[in-house]
Structures are given as structure tokens and as C-alpha cells.
Amino acid sequence: MALALNILIIVLALVTLYFLLKGGPKADPAPTGKPVGGSYTPLPQGEPVHHWTDEGRFQLEVLGESRYSEAIRALAGDHGDAAADARHKALLLADDNNPYEDKAVAVFLNNEMVGYLAPKDALAFRTMLARQEIEGQLTSTDAVIRGGQLFEGKRLSYAVLLDVNVA
């Protein structure tokens, strides 16, 4: 009888341990105010409150262009076999609802999403917004699309560069 009781206690302990490690029943996650599932694209609204310039240096590169390559290719225009040098006005949006990066800054050309600032650059840019007391507001700068030339029969990738210094 004592052996059966010991086995029962061991089995109950193992079952309890299993459920504790497994995590037990899952509760619905608390709402975060961020979009879930699917593709996410922020939408700029209103007019820019400030226009940044770095005197035409165009040293700040936009990241994630591969995801927006179709839009960038169209914005680069027809440039034949040579590299593109297409100028545009860029809108910069501090994207507080981004589900992947909490301090993201989205970049738009002609109302088309073309990528994001690198996380380090986004933090520096947000610091600039705070210094100007325009946090969370839409701003602009000049942009250039470069690249896309033909090389050995293949079109190279494009780069989107901004005329704003975040250093």
C-alpha cells in the first residue's frame, strides 16, 4: 500500500512539474496598442513642421530598402544603364506604433514608404526632434536615390540617402 501511495505522489509531482514547465493555460495577451499580424506600414499625416538640411551631403542611408524595392525602382525613374540620381522630398515619421522597433523612424518619398532609419540613427534623430520641441511631429528633408546601374547584365540595388545629419 505504501508503495502505491509513493508512486501516486511521484506521478502527481511529475504531472504538476510538466504543467508548470509547459506554462499552463495561456491567457490572452494584454493589448499593446500595436498592430498584430500581417504587414505594417505607418501613414504620415499632415504637413511637415520642420525641414532638415545638411547642405547637400546626403550621408544618412535609409535601411530596409529591399522590402520597398519596387517603389524605389519606380521613384528612381528611367536612368538607362547608368546609376540613378533621382531627387525627392522625404518625409520622416517617428513611428511609435511600430511592432518591431519601439523607436523607429519611417521614411517616405512621394507618399511611398521606402524604409527606416537604422536604430542608432533613429535614436539620434528623435533626440534632434526633442531639442527642437517637435517630438512626434512629421518633418522633412531632401533625399536622393542612387544606384541601380547595370553591371554584367544585372541591375544593381538602389540606395536612398537623406540630407540630414543625426550625429
The residue extents of the domains of the chain are 51-162
How far is residue 143's CA from residue 158's CA, in Å, rounded to a whole number? 13
- One of 3.40.50, 3.30.2320, 3.40.210, 3.30.70 is the CATH number of 51-162, namely 3.30.70
C-alpha cell belonging to residue 112: 511611398
Look at residues 145, 151, 137 and name the one whose alpha carbon lies nearest to residue 47: 137
Specify the pLDDT at position 83: 96
C-alpha cell belonging to residue 105: 523612424
How far is residue 152's CA from residue 87's CA, in Å, rounded to a whole number? 26
Give the mean pLDDT per block of 10 residues along the chain (167 residues): 79 75 56 50 90 96 90 95 96 92 94 95 97 95 97 94 95
